[in-house]
Amino acid sequence: MTAASSLPHVNKWLIAAIIMLPTFLQVMDISVVNVSLPHIQGSLNAGVDEVTWVITSYLVTNAVIIPIAPWLARVFGRKRYLLASVALFTVSSLACGASTSLSMLIFFRIFQGLAGGGLAPLGQAILLETFPQKEHGMANAVFGMGVTVAPVLGPVFGGWITDQWNWPWVFYINLPAGLLAFFLIKGFIHDPTYQRDTRIHIDTWGILFLSVGLGCLQVVLDQGEREDWFASRFIITLAVVAALSLAIFFLVERRTPHPVVDLKPFRNLNFSVANVINFLGYFTLLGSIVLLPLYLQKLMGYTALWAGLVLGPGGITSLVIMPIAGILMIRGINPKWLLGIGLSIQAVSLWMMAAFNLEAGFMYIAWPRVVLGFALGLFFAPVATAAFMHIPKEEIGNASGIFNLLRNLGGSFGIAFCTTLLSQRSQFHQTFLSENITPSNPAFQTHYQEVFQWLQIHKPALANFEGVLAVIYQEVLKQASMLAFNDTFWIMGWLTACLVPTALLLKGPKGDHETGSLH
């Protein structure tokens, strides 16, 4: 018997395919709606700030459920919980598409997030139980192919569906895949023996403080930039509530004999170090991936679909590299070496993006994204394999919830950091450039005459002092934004480079219990 004893008669690759179907849908639904927001806003007569809650509501409920999902699986049985999650996700997708008001859509997005939050951590746990210990690198590569490619394909897929049909179909497309996943799980997924006949204790206070803390934290991260961060009383209040709730949660979990989220895996050195790399790696990775479409659409004039196509080649590269990384780990390559190489390449790709300019062509922009995809292929599977290398099978579900939560939070923190840094650096460069726009500056005088002559030929109505200054001001804004993008990519590259030495702290499969634990 080569697979986990809980699934003795089912082919491991069939299990992988079944698990990845709903997981892929859930992860893709985070980004697939982004490009449809303007259509939703117009259709439901909503404001710009109001419509962003379509995304925020999903992210908040996702964040709350992820660490609790393994406990819920123990309470209800993993198979029952998976079936209920997939069923609720499918039904709420139908309800989202049929929504006739923004409040109705946000309401059903909350249920969609609650349903989808447990799919990723449980899916990863099932894969690690199904594949033998020596093939965990390949199992994590399969899982990584889903959770890393889905956010890349989401905007492309969402843009195409919205253009061809309408925004409700972004949700309706989940129905056939959800139904198929439900019946496949029902037929082929089974509960592991160690989860049967286990007494369940409800950690009421832990659940309460974790839910409040993570919910408030996710709202702060998602809405902070729009609310001008701590200039907003709303953000300050939520930040204080989040900090206090999470602090109390950690105290409660350390004292209760049956915690909803067992923090014991952090005693393992590999798990602790890998989660630091996991958090900070996704901090830089997702932050930079969000910057690319902004640069392409805001400065280069790309449509949402074409911006998505720039991201596409990098997704293909990741798909190719991840199974190769899995094979190398099966053959005995220590995950920390692959991880170190992946982080190094990721840093280089970000420095390449720091050289973007307003004249860059499609391939010049797409190539660093291909390099970043290569790096991602050498990042996800090795860091996950190192994290779970010395975790007992009975604790993998709980550990997977923590690992996936920190991955998501790292991405959320990274996106918030990048968008804030971009805004601040843009203001800095705008102020600096504006100081040089004076009538006594020879360069300004020359450019003024060039713009004036161009307006006389192409837009005579604007060929005056105010018209020329308006054109020059728009150029200043674009140049300031471009310099801000360069700065942000450069900083993210250095943050990634600083992570490379931490990979050396990870122990290999033979460095086992003497050196693999924290005492």
DSSP for 428-472, please give it: HHHHHHHTT--TT-HHHHHHHHHHHHHHHHH-GGG-SHHHHHHHH
For range 371-382, the mean pLDDT = 88
pLDDT at 87: 92
Q: Which two tokens stand for residue 429?
A: 């460069």
Residue 463: its pLDDT value, please?
Answer: 66
Residue 301's pLDDT is 81
Q: How confident is the model at residue 380 (pLDDT cuts 50, 70, 90)?
A: confident
Query: What average pLDDT score do residues 333-340 get?
Result: 90
Q: Please tell me the predicted confidence (pLDDT) of residue 353.
A: 92
State the residue for tokens 């029952």: 80
State the amino acid at position 503 in one-letter form. Answer: A
What pLDDT shows up at residue 277? 93
Residues whose CB falls within 8 Å of the CB of residue 328, separated by 6 or more in sequence, listed in order: 137, 338
Position 91 scores a pLDDT of 93
The lowest-confidence range among 31-40, 247-256, 369-378, 495-504 is 31-40
Q: Are 455 and 466 in contact (CB under 8 A)?
A: no
The predicted model gives 362-384 an average pLDDT of: 88
Encoded amino acid at 479, one letter:
Q
Q: Is the pLDDT of residue 502 over 60?
A: yes
Q: Residue 62: left if φ>0, alpha if ψ -120 to 50, beta else—which one?
A: alpha
pLDDT of residue 516: 42
| Angstrom distance (rounded) from CA 191 to CA 126 | 9
Across the range 10-18, mean pLDDT stands at: 82
- Please report, for residues 422, 441, 462, the alpha-carbon distance to residue 474 in angstroms, rounded to integers and kept in the order given: 18, 18, 14
Higher-confidence residue of 162 and 332: namely 332
Read off the pLDDT of each residue in 295-305 and give the average, rounded to a whole number: 78
Tokens describing residue 236: 């300050």
User: Which residues contact residue 283 at a Cβ distance below 8 angstroms, ignoring those fewer than 6 apart?
Assistant: 410, 411, 413, 414, 417, 495
Task: Name the band, by pLDDT with cuts 50, 70 and 90, for residue 240.
Answer: very high
pLDDT of residue 130: 81
pLDDT at residue number 39 = 75
pTM, entire model: 0.79
pLDDT band at 5 (very low <50, low <70, confident <90, very high): very low
| pLDDT for residue 500 | 92
Instruction: State the pLDDT at residue 17.
Output: 85
Q: What is the mean pLDDT of residues 357-369?
A: 87
- Phi–psi pair at 198, nearest 5 degrees: -105, 130
Q: Looking at per-residue confidence, does 238 or 230 come out higher?
A: 238
Sign (positive/negative) of CA torsion 359, 362, 367, 368?
A: positive
Most confident of 71-75, 197-201, 260-264, 349-353: 349-353
> What number is the average pLDDT over the span 23-39?
75
